């Protein structure tokens, strides 16, 4: 049976080893052009750098290198203009670009693949793409951190309840709570920065797995593509996907942080809490209940972690059993990373918008801060500091007073001095100075504490680090 014109085209790219084209199902499972066409810009940049290096080394004539470079720019223009004929039978972005280049410039296109394999070609393309996503994540996180810093600055002295186990624990300030997320997202940003530094080595020139006998200059191509250096081992160069795994791992941690604040927004914006009001831009209504204002954006952000973490687990699973060097399993790496990157960038942009539009309900926050015996620890600390009680004894006295207040249906500041002295005779009237939530938060002046002056100091530090006015 003779091969079809489409499969003949594929055979020409593979070489003379294959007499017949692949089965249609084999074509479907083997082709990656449906998703790896996203690498077109990186593929063309890598090919132009490779061609220029080949010419500089005398491996390719300047005439051919110039024709290749100009032809690749034509291909780039066609793709960006939506006029490029992507063909499934050519499998991937690399062969699609090369085939179209041949149609444009003819025979010189066949010289482009000298001293190169699709193995190192895809490795450099994918690394360039992931590196760009790290840059995008860093920018997105910087914008999100700035939004949280502005919220912290506005509410540096607004009191609210701090929680453990989602139960009222101690009063804190709104600004302090906002800055907690700045710290989280700063760690996320540093992870992407660190991953970017580590991945910034160029695998181009490793060829199929063993390097090449041609006198190439890998340092030149690395520099042309913005890498710090070429990779040092050709086997590792084509088999490594650590850079993608690190990106996914950093993305998973970041998405977890996004999900945590999304959960707080869902709780805080409920009718039961009323801590915040979300703008109409980030909420939806109900088709049947006209009173509803649903925090759908936050809920969807909460779910994005599932997709991103799923992609991370998937790529770890793909890579875990692969011997050196390249195996076709690795073609399954890109869809996971593409989807995770899309989800992360969308999540960062949406959360930045929600935080920027969020309005804290200050009176409700203050009322909630004073509930649930939130200053009990302040009372225990006062007993230790002023009366010299061991903390465990002070803890017991305070617990007894909490039980008394609970029985009376009041809060600790509402107990009378005689009530308190019935539990411990040494308690004085100045104990009431520490029982108000405002006094409580002002007293937490240890470095990193919730006191408004500490919050303002941290706001100033972050404004300086982020270049905010």
List the catalytic residues: 165, 286
Candidates 139, 190, 207, 62; CA nearest to 352 is 139
β-bridge partners, 360 = 276
β-bridge partners, 162 = 170
Task: For residue 92, give the DSSP letter.
Answer: S
Three-state secondary-structure class, residue 168: strand
Candidates 153, 144, 146, 145; CA nearest to 173 is 153
Q: Are 60 and 114 in contact (CB under 8 A)?
A: yes
Residue in this structure with the two tokens 């690749």, named with its chain if needed: 72
User: In Å, how far are 86, 118, 120, 388 from 13, measured between CA atoms?
Assistant: 15, 11, 17, 85
Whole-angstrom distance, CA of residue 401 vs CA of residue 436: 16
Candidates 92, 115, 66, 127; CA nearest to 328 is 92
Q: Are 238 and 209 in contact (CB under 8 A)?
A: yes
β-bridge partners, 160 = 172
Which pair of structure tokens corresponds to residue 232? 């040092």
Task: For residue 173, give the DSSP letter.
Answer: E
Whole-angstrom distance, CA of residue 146 vs CA of residue 185: 10
Task: For residue 81, give the DSSP letter.
Answer: T
Whole-angstrom distance, CA of residue 87 vs CA of residue 102: 14
Using only C-alpha atoms, what is the Rg of the chain? 31
Candidates 275, 84, 65; CA nearest to 174 is 275
Q: Where are the alpha helices (DSSP H) in 320-436?
A: 333-357, 362-369, 376-387, 391-408, 417-423
Q: In sequence order, which residues have a C-beta less than 8 Å from that of residue 436 and are 6 or more positions away?
A: 370, 375, 413
Torsion from C-alpha of 14, 20, 23, 24, nearest 10 degrees:
70
Whole-angstrom distance, CA of residue 184 vs CA of residue 200: 25
């Amino acid at each position: 049976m003779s091969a079809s014109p489409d499969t003949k085209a594929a055979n020409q790219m593979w070489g003379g080893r294959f007499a017949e084209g692949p089965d249609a199902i084999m074509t479907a499972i083997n082709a990656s052009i449906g998703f790896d066409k996203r690498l077109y810009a990186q593929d063309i940049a890598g090919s132009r750098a490779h061609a220029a290096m080949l010419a500089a080394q005398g491996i390719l004539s300047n005439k051919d290198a110039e024709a290749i470079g100009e032809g690749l720019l034509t291909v780039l223009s066609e793709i960006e203009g939506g006029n490029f004929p992507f063909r499934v039978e050519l499998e991937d972005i690399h062969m699609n670009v090369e085939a179209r280049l041949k149609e444009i410039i003819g025979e010189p296109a066949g010289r482009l693949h000298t001293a190169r394999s699709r193995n190192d070609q895809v490795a450099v393309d994918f690394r360039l793409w992931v590196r760009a996503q790290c840059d995008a994540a860093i920018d997105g996180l910087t914008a999100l951190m700035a939004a949280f810093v502005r919220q912290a600055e506005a509410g540096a002295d607004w009191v609210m309840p701090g929680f453990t186990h989602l139960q009222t624990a101690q009063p804190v300030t709104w600004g302090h709570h906002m800055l907690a997320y700045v710290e989280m997202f700063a760690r996320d940003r540093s992870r992407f920065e660190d991953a970017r530094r580590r991945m910034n080595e160029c695998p181009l020139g490793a060829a199929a797995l063993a390097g090449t006998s041609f006198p190439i200059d890998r340092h030149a191509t690395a520099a042309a593509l913005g890498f710090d250096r070429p990779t040092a081992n050709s086997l590792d160069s084509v088999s490594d996907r650590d850079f993608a795994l690190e990106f996914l791992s950093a993305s998973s941690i970041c998405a977890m942080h996004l999900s945590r604040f999304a959960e707080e927004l869902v709780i805080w914006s409920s009718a039961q809490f009323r801590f915040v009001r979300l703008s109409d831009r980030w909420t939806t209504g109900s088709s049947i209940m006209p009173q509803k204002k649903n925090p759908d954006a936050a809920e969807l952000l909460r779910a994005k972690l599932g997709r991103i973490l799923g992609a991370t687990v998937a790529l770890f699973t793909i890579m875990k059993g692969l011997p050196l060097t390249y195996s076709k399993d690795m073609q399954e790496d890109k869809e996971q990373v593409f989807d995770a990157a899309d989800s992360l960038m969308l999540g960062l942009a949406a959360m930045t918008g929600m935080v920027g539009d969020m309005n804290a309900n200050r009176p409700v926050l203050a009322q909630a801060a004073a509930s649930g015996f939130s200053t009990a620890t302040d009372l225990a600390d006062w007993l230790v500091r002023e009366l010299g009680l061991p903390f465990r004894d002070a803890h017991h006295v305070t617990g007894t007073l909490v039980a008394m207040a609970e029985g009376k249906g009041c809060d600790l500041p509402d107990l009378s001095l005689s009530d308190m002295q019935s539990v411990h005779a040494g308690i004085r009237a100045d104990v009431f100075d520490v029982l108000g939530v405002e006094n409580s938060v002002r007293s937490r002046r240890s470095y990193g504490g919730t006191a408004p002056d500490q919050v303002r100091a941290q706001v100033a530090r972050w404004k300086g680090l982020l270049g905010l006015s």
